[in-house]
Structure 1
């Protein structure tokens, strides 16, 4: 009989791995998921939904997408590690707006290289999911290793979440120095990373509870020997 903790643990790891995968391959792949939106309009919007009519640039782990509201729709850069926002110049007629000035580019080009850690966190979570699946199928060694890798994946997810907060604050500060206080908007990728970390934090606890309950409960064979069913 399959224990409830293995079912919940496998579902939790699968959900966390899927979320980390979406974050690691957000824009330019998953175009609705991004870390930070730079409003290229008047910079007065405080949320992404509030500036639907303003041109913007969305930053992701491996690239960016921009919609200049000029009828061309969403245009995205090539995916690579450590991109530079000056690449947006090929989508813009004329000079880059102040929000994409040299000082913002200097910070962004260095910080975007570290965003590759999201792919590392996704890889660890993927290994954790594979071990959780083997544990679900009854492999004894995988049952032990799955909890360890869940802990590693949770630690990695938490570390990249802290970096995401720092990444957002640094870019926001540089954009504000250009005179647009509301131009940097936090993206949904940060919330997805936080949810993934919470799921990976809970999963080892579920496995541990299941093991403790399994140790305390008598086995069916012992009940049968004692004359009880």
Structure 2
């Protein structure tokens, strides 16, 4: 009989892995998921695309998407590790908006290379899910491996979460310092990363509790059988 901790552990790792996959391949693949939205107008950008009235650019792990409110809709860059916000020039005619000044560009171009760590965290979580699946199917000696890789994946997710906050604050400060630059808005990818980390943090604890309970239950059951005899 499969124990409850293995069922919950497998579901927890599966959801966390899915969330990290969405974050790792967000903008420009999943266009509604992004780390940071930069308002290219002079107003305040909205988190909801349906309410967005100013032109904006959304930053993701492997690229960006922008809607310049010029009737062309959402346009996205090609996926690549590390990208330059000056690439938005291919979608507009004339100079870059103030929000993409040289100071913003230099910071963003350097930090976007580090966003690839989200793909690394997803890879570790995927390995953890494989071990959790083997443990669920009853393969011997994989419970510890599953817990270890859950811990590794959780540590990686927490590390990239901290980086995301730093990335957002740095770009936000540079955008704020640019004249008539608008605003920088925190994206939903950060919250997905946080939720994935919480799941990966809790899962090894569930595995540990399940193993402890599993060690205690058979022994008590065995003692009861002896008393009957």
Shared fold by TM > 0.5?
yes
Unaligned runs of at least 5 residues, structure 2: none
1:85-100 counterparts in 2 under 5 A? 85-100=85-100
Q: Provide the residue aligned with 2:128 in structure 1.
A: 128
Q: Provide the residue aligned with 1:82 in structure 2.
A: 82
Does the aligned pair in 2 maintain the 1:153–1:200 contact within 8 Å? yes
Does the aligned pair in 2 maintain the 1:13–1:199 contact within 8 Å? yes
Does the aligned pair in 1 maintain the 2:37–2:57 contact within 8 Å? yes
- The residue matched to 1:185 in structure 2 has which SS? strand
Kindly state the Cα deviation for residue 43 of structure 1 after the two structures are TM-superposed: 3.1
- The residue matched to 1:132 in structure 2 has which SS? helix
Q: Provide the residue aligned with 1:170 in structure 2.
A: 170
Unaligned runs of at least 5 residues, structure 1: none
Kindly state the Cα deviation for residue 180 of structure 1 after the two structures are TM-superposed: 4.7
Distance in 1 between residues matched to 2:94 and 2:181, nearest whole Å: 23
Moved segments of 4+, more than 4 Å: 219-226
Q: Provide the residue aligned with 2:58 in structure 1.
A: 58
1:1-229 counterparts in 2 under 5 A? 1-45=1-45, 47-49=46-48, 52-180=52-180, 183-218=183-218, 223-224=224-225, 226-227=227-228
Count of residues in correspondence between the two structures: 227
- The residue matched to 1:204 in structure 2 has which SS? helix
Could you say what the CA RMSD is over the residues aligned between the two structures, in angstroms? Answer: 1.6
> TM-score if structure 1 supplies the norm length?
0.94
Distance in 2 between residues matched to 1:49 and 1:25, nearest whole Å: 20
Listed one character per residue, the Cα deviations across residues 76-123 of structure 1 (whole Å, up to 9, x for unaligned) are 000001100000001012111000111111111100000000000000
Distance in 1 between residues matched to 2:82 and 2:88, nearest whole Å: 14
